[in-house]
Structure 1
């Protein structure tokens, strides 16, 4: 499993637009092959900063989504609302007891 976290800082006056984009696309993202979970987080101290937290079967599944028509619509619309570049990273869960993925 691959976990993807994308931290996005929005122009404060444009957060409602982002939330509408997310509401309109959340279920469609969840339906993408290999997507197991999508969640939206809001920064506790900066209300115009959000993170998407998603689980994917693999990097290949995430990359297929990133090449999809859906992503091609959602990402440019979201990016237009940014106050700063997004920070994105992927991680794998680790069993701390064994040190294994």
Structure 2
């Protein structure tokens, strides 16, 4: 259960982080340079849904993997820092190999 929950969380983190990259570097330029605000509406909603699921997944992973309280709080803080989930993923990769 430990490895499976951690792997699922890491995959979700990569998806959520990638949705932010798409939103910032594809949808936002389309909105402001090509006058296509629909791109931000669509990708913003996708990112919002993935972010919400990611926050719920932090809680699930904290119980499944038995993270210490400080690590769980750190995961939440990393979720609100742009690209923080990629940094968290590198730490989780070390946990997964152990």
Q: TM-score, normalised by structure 1?
A: 0.32
TM-score of the two chains, using structure 2 as the length reference: 0.32
Higher strand share: 1
* Greater RCO structure (CA 8 Å; 6+ sep): 1
More helix by share: 2
Report the structure number with the largest CA radius of gyration. Answer: 2
